[in-house]
Structure 1
Amino acid sequence: MASEARTIAIAGAGSIGCYVGGCLALAGREVAFLGRGSIVEAMRESGLGVSDLDGRNRRVEPQAISATDDPAAALCGADVILVTVKSGATGEMARLIDAHGRPDAVVVSLQNGVDNADRLRAALAGRRVLAGMVTFNVVLSPDGEAPLRAHRASQGEVMIDTGVDGLADLLDVDGLAVEARADMKAVQWGKLLMNLNNALVALSGLPLARQLADRSWRVILAAEIDEALAAMRAAGIAPARIIGLPPALLPKVLRLPDWLFGLLARRMLAIDPRARSSMWDDLKRGRPTEIDELQGAVIRLARQTGTPTPANERVAALVRQAEAEKRGPPGLMPDEIISSLARKS
């Protein structure tokens, strides 16, 4: 698997797919992008910019890009298929892979949530499907900006399941650190804890760094994480450490005064000031969000274990309301979400 001649399909050329695929293409990997017409057209016309917080600002020229909206063309020759679509599109992508992908291709889910790899396995019986997790934030340039640019807006790496020798080495390139992990289910639950903030960014409309710097928002996130940790303990799930802090300490650190939080959580706050969450972008564009895969996963686990989740249920209800109204991010204030939590010390 370590051969650079292997073909890698990006099954979902959105923000994560463009960044991951762009780094791989810049490192000389053979990459085929499968995406929507507008993104494919933009890459064909002006290439793909790839930048990050570490100061890299690179570009894949149009002639070096293989991008299509034809699933057969993108998937049929791929040795590795990286699934980077939103959770709601997992079933449809599985059907496309089943119809057009090679039976011996390795399929890797690089998606939010804890269930997508299992969904892919159920739909792709007999194929090698690995769980994966992207721990950083990526911002895609606004529509019409040329070249299309994928910017990694926070620190982090990609983690993938063990089981395929050399796969991590194949994917580990400049700008894209990849680590093989034997505890991917724990990694997924650990990442889910911080992904609970995606909804708060979407509801507030604030940039991620500004929102996290405000204790009024952090106490709501802390309440959500407290509930998630209680449900995980009851279910015997031990989430992995993702951002440097043990998961059990996250609520305590989030509730600290702003000045102390800023000192202790520098890595958490090392975020491009323009970055927001993908859920914010979904509301802005009138698309379905991943609320059922994030807060929804906590609520389902809590119901199985008999633990309460009022904070997660309230946040999920507000996101679903915003989805239904299709007016974009509602710009709520903390006390409009859960006033009792906002007053906690």
Structure 2
Amino acid sequence: MEKRKVFFLINSIGFGGAERALVNLLSVPSLYSGLDVRIILLDKEPLVRQLPSTVKVHQLNAKRSLLFSLVQLNALVRKEKPTLIVSFLVRANVANAITTLFQNHSAVLCERMHLTSHLDNQFTGWMRAVAGAIPRISYGRASAVLGVSRGVTKDLVEHFHVSPGKAHTIYNPYNIDDIRAASKETPSISLPSRFIVSAGRLTEAKNFKHLINAYLKSSERDPLCILGEGEQKEALAQFIKKKGAEKRVLLVGYAKNPFSVFSRAKYYISASTNEGFPNALLEAMTVGLPVVMTNCPSGPAEILDADPDFQSDKYHFGKYGILVPLGDERELVYAINQMQIEDVRVNYSSKSKLRAEDFCIGKISAEYWQFLRRFL
């Protein structure tokens, strides 16, 4: 009997959290034994993560175009006839959903971002209206839509015409043992002897200028190291220079093994304005870092206070880390000052490790495959 085909669809295999989640999901082959599992990449771009050798890869050449994605995906699906396509990221999700108009497969969309706030950060005016309308029209056609946090799932139901019966939440999987093993390696980049760390693409949504301002006003005297690359790198470098903070705020670039950097830091901090499920936060917690993060939509409150609906206009000692109101520089300064207290850091270090275990790869991957087999 021919094996049932399950395709995983994503734009490309880059450095992002969605790509890492997909690789983690496929890293336990025993969970999908008996199935013909493949990956479809919409764009012909370099692969920066290693994929399981047991999984066949189809690489299209859509050139980041939704129209080309639709045309090329439809042709491949017509030829290969998969039973199920599981997609990650908005363009892949839209293409997957629309292709069901022409082909007979089940479509499961995995939304990684709090889509409303993500689009608000990316677009304005008529472009924002169009960008919101495309998933609003298409997502409802899917067999199911998986939010990476309850906040993401709630947003999909309330703003993108996903029926509650089709909306589900499954968190990101993390290979706890691998992360902790990698954290013991020697960092590939030069670091100060003591430092605090933040990580993410250097984009507007990560709100690094806000973070730098609060850091410079706080009582923290160890350097702030920012891991990542992105379009704001030059602007951030100029901003740091203007502040006269070149020796205190260090743009250390991309680290292939960020865990070895995290494990040597004093604590992790993020002032992001938009997330789905903040990967760097959870990875820092996995190696035992105490954490401070803005309560942006969505994920931080769900991780740090086990309550997706938590709100406060003051910094908050959550169950597993410190939450700060979004965009409030004064409260972020206060939170940083709290992290100067050793007892606070020690307490949250142990709680970080404890919380990370809730998202271990074995547990979450099994949950994913149990869910996906409903459509086979």
Quickly name the TM-score band, shorter chain normalised.
Answer: 0.3 to 0.5
* Larger of the two Rg values belongs to structure: 2
